[in-house]
Amino acid sequence: RFNPPEGGATLLDPKMRTSKDFPKWLNAPETKDQLKNKTVMMYCTGGIRCERATALLNQITDAEPEFQTKGVVMVRGGIER
């Protein structure tokens, strides 16, 4: 698991078992509060979950003007162990 440097980014781990769990987590008000007006970095070890999650987050920010991020950055290929 990636640990950001102290004083840097905040790690939000949705603790998902499958990518099907992501929409529910992302639509939760507390999650949106944590992501609002932030730059979001997505990463995973496989890659496909990141692509789906990034696409969903972009769709939601396009559809909800009151919920905006400063952009979504996806680490292609995941994080090497």
Residues noted as catalytic = 44
d(CA 28, CA 72): 18
Q: How far is CA 60 from the centre of its chain?
A: 12
User: 39: Cβ–Cβ under 8 A, 6 or more apart, which residues?
Assistant: 69, 70, 71, 72, 73
For residue 40, the 8-state DSSP code is E
